[in-house]
Amino acid sequence: MIQFMQQLINGLSIGSVYALMAVGYSLVYSIMSFSNFAHGGVIMLGAYFGFFALTLLKLPFILAFILACAGTTLLAILVERIAYKPLRERNAPFLYFIISAMGASILLENIVIATIGPTFRTYPAVIPRTPIQLGALAVGRLDLIMFFISAVCLTGLILFIEKTKMGKAIQAAAYNIKACALMGVNTDKIILIVFGLGGFLAGVAGVFFGMKYTVYPQIGNITTKSFIAAVFGGLGSLPGAVLGSVLLGTIETLVAGYLSSQFRDLIAFVILIGVLIFRPSGIMGKNTVDKA
């Protein structure tokens, strides 16, 4: 039982980071209906921004954190302007967006390999590694902070979307972007904000991920799993992305803990396939009707 609880805590902590990443995929999907595979590259660069702000610039943690988030926000917007905007203006089919995203992801990953190098780097110990003991359970300080800040960010995001005028415009654009533009909403600005928000959360996720594990150019492969989490919860649905991430994180750690860590990655793809076969819209996604 103790072991189970311990695994559950670990699962929740990794799930919360997945959630920060998955929300970025879902936000973009809800507006533009394509899977933004460049998001993984943005997360990876977020981890590097944080790392260099801490080690090279020797900034205090909070400042480094803010710098990393600002950097990824700008980067995400830049990717949108360069790789997607020309396609949007031409009404290109979704596939071109995906290929362009793949190109951007290859580009980002290899720029890092070419300039910084492919070596693994470890964050300096900002937060003490000693865990907090709750009875027989050990909770890592980092895990706790990760969970807390993720929760704050995600609540903030959902409040922004539910309560503000801009959030309402985003909801409208997610419902039907063309009609939204006809109603006088500046959809170009909406898309900019959506990419900015996704980029910001990518920065938070990148820094935490780097702190918990290591920083290396292929982090993007792990973000594929957060994408699966977004599909699991229902692409385009924010609460779905969060729920899917927490579930996926928990299932993964339980599988790694009780079966074999070999199956850890496999289970994610098995879930993906299962979801697509039995319920393509995911746990909370809206059932899309093909309008043809």
Partner 1 sequence: MDWFYIQGILMLAGINLIAVLGLSLLTGFTGLFSFGHAGFMAIGAYLGALMTVSPTTSPAGLGLPFAVGVIAGGAGAGIVSYFIGRITLNLKGDYFCIATLGFGEAIRLILNNVQLFGGSRGWPGVPYKSTLPAIIIVDILAVIFLANLVRSRHGRNMIAVREEELAAQIAGVNVFKYKMIALVVSAVYAGVAGVFFGHYMTFIQPKMFSMTKSTELTIIVIFGGLGSISGSVLGALLLTALPEILRAFEIWRLVFYGAAVILIMISRPKGLMGGMELTPAGIRKARNERKARVQALKESKNSQNGEVGVG
Smallest distance, Å, CB 247 to partner 1?
17
Instruction: Locate 40 and state its tokens.
Output: 């993984």
Report the residue number, 120 or 148, with the smaller CB distance to partner 1.
120
Q: Is 228 in the site for partner 1 (CB under 8 A)?
A: yes
Tell which one of 125, 129, 184, 262 touches partner 1 (CB under 8 A): 262
Min dist CB 70 to partner 1, Å, is 24
Q: Which position has the token pair 């609880």?
A: 5
**Options 90-98, 153-161, 204-212, 248-256: segment touching partner 1 (CB under 8 A):** 90-98
For residue 32, the minimal CB distance to partner 1 (Å) is 11
Query: Which residues in the 1-20 window bind partner 1 by CB under 8 A?
Result: none
Count of C-beta atoms within a 10 Å radius of residue 274: 11
CB 6 → partner 1: shortest distance, Å? 26
Residue pair 45/206 in contact by the 8 Å Cβ criterion: yes
DSSP letters of 167-182?
HHHHHHHHH-HHHHHH
Q: Does 87 interact with partner 1 (rule: CB under 8 A)?
A: yes
Tell me the angle at which helices 61-79 and 39-55 cross, rounded to the nearest 10 degrees.
Answer: 150
When the beta carbons of 109 and 143 are compared against partner 1, the nearer one is: 109
- Burial class (CB within 10 angstroms; exposed 0-12, middle 13-18, buried 19+) of 253: buried
Q: Using an 8 Å Cβ cutoff, are 208 and 19 in contact?
A: no
Q: Give 3-state DSSP helix, strand, coil % of the chain, rounded to 5.
A: 75, 5, 20
Length of the chain as a residue count: 292
* Binding track, positions 272-291, relative to partner 1; x by CB under 8 A: xx--xx--x-------x-x-
What is the nearest approach in angstroms of partner 1 to the Cβ of residue 143?
27
**In terms of CB distance, is 83 or 197 closer to partner 1?**
83
Among 218, 166, 268, smallest CA distance to 47 is for 218
Task: Write the CA distances from 268 to 68, 138, 151, 227, integer angstroms.
Answer: 29, 26, 23, 10
Closer to partner 1 by CB, 63 or 266: give it: 266
If binding is defined by CB under 8 A, does position 247 make contact with partner 1? no
**Which sign does the torsion angle of CA 210, 97, 81, 116 carry?**
positive
Residues that bind partner 1 (CB under 8 A): 33-35, 82-83, 86-87, 90, 92, 94-96, 98-100, 102-111, 113-114, 224, 228, 231, 235, 262-263, 265-266, 269-270, 272-273, 276-277, 280, 288, 290, 292
